[in-house]
Amino acid sequence: MEYGIKMKKLIEKFSQGILSPTDVASVVLFRVIFGLLMFWEITRYFYYGWVEELFAKPQFHFQYEYFRWVVPIPADGMYILFAAMGVLALMIACGLFYRVSTSLFFLGYTYVFLLDQATYNNHFYLICMLSFVLILAPLNSSWSLDVLRGKVEHTDHLPAIWLWLIRFHMGVVYFYGGIAKFDPDWVEGRATRELLGVANRGTIFQPLMDYSFVHLFYAWSGLLFDLFIPFLMLYKPTRKWAFLGAVLFHANNYFVFPIGVFPVLALALTLMFFDADFPRKIIPEKLKHFTREQYRKRLLPRKNLISGKMEMELSQWIPRSMQLLLGFYVVAQLVLPFRHMLYPGWTTWHEEGHYFAWRMMLRQKITRMQFNVTHPVTGEQRYADPRDYLNTSQFKVFAGNPGMILLFAKHLDHLVQSNAGFDPIITARIEVSLNGREFRPLVEPNLDLSRIPAYEPAYRWILPFGDR
């Protein structure tokens, strides 16, 4: 009974904490940075030709099991979609038609994210989640064109839950990334040896990559950084030093590994661990005065005073149904990364539970493969080269992923039945070198892949890794 009372008080205290008023400055800054970063990200798709290469050109897409209904639109439509997302990103940064722009950006980006497993990336998933949070959070209530238009009432404070949700997302990425690194290949330096070898090939640092202490240093410093950085950022005495470490960490990743926008986005999220009002402290006083005077001329009545009444009003901004939705959302984010524990075998080998779990940079796979299409009656056999059906990006990713290999085999089966008029036998000789090991077989060479149900868990039909 006493335990139940203590738990009730603890929950009430927690609820009051996340609903208490907090300065809006940092979360509004994040809105601006996020919008600008997304605009930059979208422009990169046009500049490098990724819209055509990844979405318009492919004959075949590796669909997600529960999202097979998500199909690509014609090429012209994909270009229009990406252009629209670029405009929406700028609207988010400016706080213009905020609810509409965040909702449409979330739908557009998530649609693109779900089109093809071959384009999966952890930071793409993170962007989808952050876009969803932005829909719910009223981050256009300050320093936005919606306020200047008179469509939104200005306030200097919002419930603390929106700041904590942004912190939560970055904390999950860091901490779960650290947990995932308790992998034998990572702690032994085998994974970092392969990663650094590929990343530094042909550079002045290549000779250093031959030393095992370099591999171990990268492995353990990365593991410890991921595990402890959220807590060091939350603790004020260590916050500045932790942030300096984050800057060095992400700067190194940006220049060594081709991971796009993520290092900058991660630093923007890490900034949210500082005091909520920190942006007000770093703005030059002259600029602050000018903008304040110009901005106030257009404001609706402001809520400047913090009182018990205002705290109650802020609490009412998040109805009980919204609180339950956010609670479920947080629990799902905490539980989902552990689903790989439901599957027997080594996740790095069979890949089940790899997605949506913040398992980053844990493996390098080199694959040798040959697909054979056999007539069931005549026994006539032909070789199928996956590169004739997949683009370069798809081929690199699918070659070491058993689930995607199976989907490709099903695609071959469909093509033969449609074009040749018979039900073929699809077999494959596939050997994989994992993190620099000797090649070992992934599937039985006589296994008819066309008879295995699509999305059958890989551990049920591939060969086990064996020793680990």
| DSSP-assigned beta bridge partners for residue 159 | 21
| DSSP-assigned beta bridge partners for residue 367 | 432
Task: Kindly report the length of the chain.
Answer: 468
CA 297 distance to own-chain centroid: 40
* CA distance linking residue 263 with residue 254, whole number of Å: 6
Six-digit token string for 74: 């014609």
Task: Write down the pLDDT at residue 6.
Answer: 55
Q: Regarding predicted confidence, which is higher, 196 or 236?
A: 236
Task: Write down the pLDDT at residue 467.
Answer: 57
The SS3 assignment for 384 reads strand
* CA distance linking residue 411 with residue 403, whole number of Å: 13
Six-digit token string for 93: 């940064």
Confidence class for position 420, pLDDT limits 50, 70, 90 = confident
Question: HSE-up of 148 (CA within 13 Å, CB side)?
Answer: 10
* CA distance linking residue 37 with residue 320, whole number of Å: 33
Give the chain's mean pLDDT: 86
Q: Average the pLDDT over each of 45-54, 60-69, 289-298, 390-399 and give the range with the smallest value.
A: 289-298
Q: Using CA of residue 60, residue 61, residue 64, residue 68, what is the dihedral sign?
A: negative
Q: Using CA of residue 386, residue 392, residue 395, residue 400, what is the dihedral sign?
A: positive
* CA distance linking residue 29 with residue 272, whole number of Å: 9
pTM beyond cutoff 0.85: yes
Q: Average the pLDDT over each of 202-216, 274-288, 298-312 and give the range with the smallest value.
A: 298-312
SS (H, E, C) 85-101: HHHHHHHHHHCCCHHHH
* CA distance linking residue 456 with residue 196, whole number of Å: 34
